[in-house]
Structure 1
Amino acid sequence: MIDLHYWPTPNGKKVTILLEEAGIPYRIVPVNIGRGDQFSAEFLRMNPNHRMPVMVDAAPAGGGEPVVVFESGAIMMYLAEKVGRFYPQDLRGKYAVTEWVIWQMANQGPKSGECGHFRRLGDRQGDQSYAVRRFTDEVNRLYGVLNNRLHESRYLAGEDYTIADMICYPWTVNWQGQGQDIAEFPYFKRWQDELAARPAVQRGMAAGADLSEDVSKLPPEEQERRAKILYNQRARPVPVH
């Protein structure tokens, strides 16, 4: 059984898609990132970067103590290797997938996140027009990278569906909120439509849907508390023993 410390965001849904595709039994352990659960001492012992998801495998290959893995890309590599699916292990096939997994972690995820942040922020912190343009254009460039790649091959790492596709998909479903025109990227749209029709992708995307909350309905003091812990974070001091 896999324990997945999770909240229903694109970074969490990458992993639930793989769990569903591979038929791996798993249990969701909610980590309410709006409330600040990711800053608890217990969670920090699993992930010093205080971000979800985190995976705990109680039955690792070869036995022994449970294996704890943080960072969604690392989790997906681990799980795919565990079941021997969606992540080829021959030299060329493995690195064709790995480069797209790293591309997603280093480019698509962070830039899409910044794009969404500044587009939602509006003018509450002053003129954000440069940041909105900067990240909207960068996300447009990244959709172009996907579109050109998918013009060449059916899937991102070649002709086989892999974790490279699963890890990229959740960040693309909100293309409208990212200020993009899907008609600009027909080869990407063909890929996105194909993945969206997969039952396991649908189940993975729906995982934890009951956990979401309407922050606007929280008391003002709780909204203020959450804003303070979520935004403008700085380094955590080393614990004093």
Structure 2
Amino acid sequence: MIDLYYWTTPNGHKAAIMLEELQLEYNIHTINISEGEQFSKVFSLISPNQRIPAIVDNSPINSTKSIKIFESGAILQYLAEKTGKLIGSTIEDKYKVIQWLTWQVAGLGPMAGQNHHFSHYASEEIPYAIKRYQNETSRLYSVMDHQLSSNEYLAGNFYSIADIACFPWVRIHEYQKQDISKFKHLERWLLAVSERPATIKALEIAKKINTKPTVNEKASSFLFNQNKITTKQQSNKAKSNYHDQIV
């Protein structure tokens, strides 16, 4: 059994979709990042960066001890290697997948995330930053579109964790001020991934967990105004009943 520590964000969706694709048994422990639950001392032991998602695999291969994994890219790679699925069947294919997975966690995710922040959440409007990150998101979409012009999926003609990593970010293209119709191959790919049974199920679960915006006025202090001091203060304010929930 795998314990998934999760909230309904693009990075959270990656882990849920992956677990559904693999049809592994898992329990969801919600980490409401709008309420600061990510700063609890117990969760911090699982995810030192105090971000979701994270997993605890209670039945790892060749070990009697549970394994804790944080960071969405590492979770996807771990589960793919554990099961031998969605990572390619040859060493060449594997590293095609890993390259695109790394591309997502180092590029698409951070740039789209900054796009979200400056376009929707920043306390002041900064036109340069808005334009900068919307343009960079567009450039990254173009990179995917070019790759998909000659490949069914990002790493080739097989579905992989690279596609799972990118999908939750591209599905909210309107939020990033991107016209998906300008990226015909990416649009085709997006539809194909969105119609996979595992994708549909994971997103249906997400709707049952949270129907409210992740970011509101209260949540902004938890999500955007952190430093060493505020993180420690937020940790001290984490709900004690939440500690009991995940111990």
TM-score (norm 2): 0.88
Paired residue for 1:178, among 176, 179, 183? 176
1:22 — aligned with what?
A: 22
1:153 — aligned with what?
A: 151
- Native 8 Å contact 1:56 1:68 kept in 2: yes
* Structure 1: distance between partners of 2:223 and 2:231: 20
Structure 1 residue runs of 4 or more that deviate by more than 4 Å after TM superposition: 236-239
More moved, 95-104 vs 190-199: 190-199
* Structure 2: distance between partners of 1:198 and 1:214: 25
* Structure 1: distance between partners of 2:218 and 2:187: 40
- Native 8 Å contact 2:5 2:54 kept in 1: yes
1:41-60 equivalences in 2 (<5 Å): 41-60=41-60
1:226 — aligned with what?
A: 219
Paired residue for 1:207, among 201, 205, 208? 205
1:167 — aligned with what?
A: 165
Change (3 A) 1:215 1:145: closer
2:120 — aligned with what?
A: 120
1:235 equivalent to 2:228? Answer yes
Change (3 A) 1:238 1:207: closer
Cα drift, residue 215 of structure 1: 6.2
Structure 1: runs of 5 or more not aligned: 217-222
1:79 — aligned with what?
A: 79
* Structure 1: distance between partners of 2:231 and 2:199: 40
2:36 — aligned with what?
A: 36
2:139 — aligned with what?
A: 141
* Structure 2: distance between partners of 1:151 and 1:225: 43
Q: Which amino acid aligns with 2:80?
A: A
What SS does the aligned partner of 1:4 have?
strand
What SS does the aligned partner of 1:156 have?
coil
1:220 — aligned with what?
A: none
Cα drift, residue 119 of structure 1: 1.2
* Structure 1: distance between partners of 2:186 and 2:109: 17
Q: Which amino acid aligns with 2:176?
A: Q
Q: Which amino acid aligns with 1:112?
A: A
- Native 8 Å contact 2:7 2:33 kept in 1: yes
Cα drift, residue 236 of structure 1: 5.5
More moved, 56-65 vs 82-91: 82-91
Change (3 A) 1:198 1:237: closer
RMSD of aligned residue pairs (Cα, Å)? 2.0
What SS does the aligned partner of 1:207 have?
helix
Change (3 A) 1:62 1:112: same
Cα drift, residue 110 of structure 1: 0.8
Change (3 A) 1:149 1:236: farther
